[in-house]
Amino acid sequence: MNLSKETSVYLTSKDSKSRLEKISESEILTESKAELKSIRLHTNLLRQSILGFGGAFTEASASIYDQLDKNKKNEVIEAYFGKSGNQYNMGRTHINSCDFSLGNYALCETEDRELTDFSIQRDKKMLIPFIKSALEKASAPIHIMASPWSPPPWMKTNNQMNHGGKLKEEYQDTWAEYYCKYIKFYEEDGVPIWGISVQNEPEAVQTWDSCIYSGEEERDFIKNFLGPALEKNKYLDKKLVIWDHNRDIMVERASTILNDENFSIRNKIEAWMAEMNSHVGNVQTGALSDLTTNTTVSIKHYGVAGGNDSLGEWKFVNCFPVALGEIALDWGSNDTVEEYTVDWAYDYWTHAGGAGSS
């Protein structure tokens, strides 16, 4: 590998003293004559468009940013969002605390169906100023997606934010309004919310903030509570992200939601790969085992199937779906939806602790 004069190599590792150390090319080669793998771009072969790249705004990263002097803050924002930097145009943040917060907290700690004590004061101390700094100096508009890691303890079956648990049925309507209050409060404070996901990692019981939904539970919560709340509060322009998790059972989760004949939405539903990980093999087997590169599957009205009543095509590359595109339906209506071509996109995203995670 021959690096140009403009290229530098940096090493960061939790298992060493290297946190962000500049190293020579030779230090990352395992053999004296070895060369790093190259990426070959076929510029004449156009496939999906990429919505963008970005990272996470968390309370932990905001607390570090808050301690920097003005020059260093400008340097950080420019490096990630500026014209001379990565030019990130995506940002993810958390509703309530997450695993990269300074501790568990909820925006409404009081058990109250009316959410009277709902407040973003804690976020306004460090997190929101961090996001605003990026919004003000970014070279392109930033799409902010907000995700809950857990509802407040009083809404959950295990009465805590950590270790999984589920949303109590009696608080489904209150939790749906919670998302809308979050959007309202953040936007009134100058942070536009591009979209929300239903739940971060809805199938993972973690030692940190987490909450479990089956595919049927996620579907029914959207259909009966979250969707109507978004409509009532006039937030149908917001993106709604389902299965905010690994891709190993992405097909099954998307099918569970979209195959329900009584499930219809006016907003757009998008299934995102939350992480590009090692689960490709699971997606390539089973129902997709007979698919080949560039195979397309038609999405029928309310589901994944063949037929003439098609909303678009589900495209596969290298035998796995790169994403599920936007499908526009109507809440509470079984009216015929005009056929149109789905605009497919794929997104590489992680939700690690800093704005530099991508």
In sequence order, the 6+-apart residues with CB closer than 8 A to the CB of 62 are 126, 127, 129, 130
Domain-located, residue 84: yes
Measure the CA–CA gap between 221 and 213, rounded to whole angstroms: 9
Residue range 17-34, pLDDT digits in tens? 877 888 887 776 665 555
Measure the CA–CA gap between 27 and 224, rounded to whole angstroms: 56
pLDDT in the model for residue 65? 96
Domain-located, residue 134: yes
* The overall pTM is greater than 0.85: no
CATH of the domain at 246: 3.20.20.80
Domain-located, residue 236: yes
- In the chain, the N- to C-terminal Cα span, in Å, equals 24
Domain-located, residue 270: yes
The count of C-alpha atoms lying within 13 angstroms of the C-alpha of 246, restricted to the half-sphere facing its C-beta, is 11
Measure the CA–CA gap between 100 and 56, rounded to whole angstroms: 10
Domain-located, residue 46: no
pLDDT in the model for residue 264? 54
Domain-located, residue 4: no
Total number of domains in the chain? 1
H or E stretch including 217?
Answer: helix 215-221
In sequence order, the 6+-apart residues with CB closer than 8 A to the CB of 291 are 297, 316, 319
pLDDT in the model for residue 195? 93
| 266 burial via Cβ count (<10 Å: 0-12, 13-18, 19+) | middle
pLDDT in the model for residue 120? 98
Domain-located, residue 65: yes
Domain-located, residue 179: yes
pLDDT in the model for residue 330? 33
Do strands 239-242 and 268-271 pair parallel, antiparallel, or not at all (unpaired)? parallel
The range of the structural domain enclosing residue 134 comes to 52-274
**Angle (CA) 280 311 285, round 5°:** 20
Measure the CA–CA gap between 19 and 245, rounded to whole angstroms: 28
pLDDT in the model for residue 27? 72
pLDDT in the model for residue 163? 98
Question: What is the 3-class SS of 77-88, one letter each residue?
Answer: HHHHHCCCCCCC
Q: Which residue ranges of the chain lie beneath pLDDT 70?
A: 1-6, 28-37, 261-358
